[in-house]
Amino acid sequence: MIKRTLEISSAPARLSVRHRQLVIARDGAEPVTAPIEDIGLLIIDQQATSYSHNALTTLAEAGAAVALCGANHLPAALVIPVVGNALQAERQRAQIAATKPLAKQLWRRLVAAKLARQADTLEGAGSDGVDLRAMARRVRSGDPENLEAQGAQRYWPRLFGKSFRRDPQGDPPNHLLNYGYAVIRAAAARALVGAGLLPAFGIQHSNRGNPFALADDLIEPFRPFVDAVVVEMVRAGLDQGELDRERKAPLLALLNRRVAIGGTTTPLSLAFGRVATSLAESFLNKSPRLILPERLLSEDEERAAAGLPAAPRAIHAAADP
111-133: pLDDT as tens digits: 999 999 999 999 999 999 999 99
pLDDT(52) > 60: yes
Of 40-49, 79-88, 216-225, the one with minimum mean pLDDT is 79-88
Q: Are residues 34 and 63 in the same domain?
A: yes
**Across 168-195, average pLDDT:** 92
Q: Are residues 187 and 166 in the same domain?
A: yes
End position of a domain, from candidates 30, 57, 79 = 79
Facing residues of 42 across strands?
6, 66
Q: pLDDT digits over 210-266, tens only?
A: 888 999 999 999 999 999 999 999 999 999 888 888 999 999 999 999 999 999 999
Bond into 173 cis (ω within 30): yes
Q: Are residues 52 and 93 in the same domain?
A: no
**Considering the domain boundaries, does residue 245 fall inside one?**
yes
CATH number at residue 244: 1.20.120.920
Residue range of the domain that includes 221: 88-305
Q: Are residues 230 and 94 in the same domain?
A: yes
CATH number at residue 60: 3.100.10.20
Using a 10 angstrom Cβ sphere, with 0-12 exposed, 13-18 middle and 19 or more buried, the burial of residue 201 is middle
Q: Are residues 40 and 179 in the same domain?
A: no
Strands 264-267, 258-261: parallel, antiparallel or unpaired by DSSP? Answer: antiparallel
| Structural contact between residues 221 and 113, judged by C-beta atoms closer than 8 angstroms | yes
**Considering the domain boundaries, does residue 319 fall inside one?**
no
**Considering the domain boundaries, does residue 134 fall inside one?**
yes
Task: Give pLDDT, residue 225.
Answer: 98
Share of the chain above pLDDT 90, in %: 67
Q: Are residues 202 and 173 in the same domain?
A: yes
pLDDT(319) > 80: no
Q: pLDDT digits over 261-317, tens only?
A: 999 999 999 999 999 999 999 999 999 999 999 999 987 888 776 677 766 554 544
Task: Give pLDDT, residue 124.
Answer: 95
End position of a domain, from candidates 79, 99, 130 = 79
Residue 72: pLDDT band (50, 70, 90) is: confident
The number of domains in the chain is: 2
| Structural contact between residues 2 and 265, judged by C-beta atoms closer than 8 angstroms | no
Q: Are residues 221 and 94 in the same domain?
A: yes
Q: Are residues 115 and 243 in the same domain?
A: yes
Number of Cβ atoms within 10 Å of the Cβ of 293: 22
pLDDT(318) > 60: no
Q: Are residues 129 and 268 in the same domain?
A: yes
Residue 24: pLDDT band (50, 70, 90) is: very high
**Considering the domain boundaries, does residue 312 fall inside one?**
no
DSSP string, 28-86: TS--EEEEGGGEEEEEE--TT-EE-HHHHHHHHHTT-EEEEE-TTSSEEEEE--S---T
In the predicted model, what is the mean pLDDT of the chain? Answer: 90
**Considering the domain boundaries, does residue 35 fall inside one?**
yes
Task: Give pLDDT, residue 70.
Answer: 81
**Considering the domain boundaries, does residue 316 fall inside one?**
no
As separate numbers, helices (DSSP H) first and strands (DSSP E) second, the chain gives: 11, 11
Give the rounded distance of the alpha carbon of 139 from its chain centre: 24
Q: Are residues 149 and 106 in the same domain?
A: yes
Share of the chain above pLDDT 70, in %: 93
Task: Give pLDDT, residue 311.
Answer: 63
End position of a domain, from candidates 44, 79, 114 = 79
**Across 34-61, average pLDDT:** 92
Q: Are residues 122 and 240 in the same domain?
A: yes
Q: Are residues 66 and 138 in the same domain?
A: no
| Structural contact between residues 254 and 180, judged by C-beta atoms closer than 8 angstroms | yes
Q: pLDDT digits over 171-183, tens only?
A: 999 999 999 999 9
**Considering the domain boundaries, does residue 187 fall inside one?**
yes
**Considering the domain boundaries, does residue 58 fall inside one?**
yes
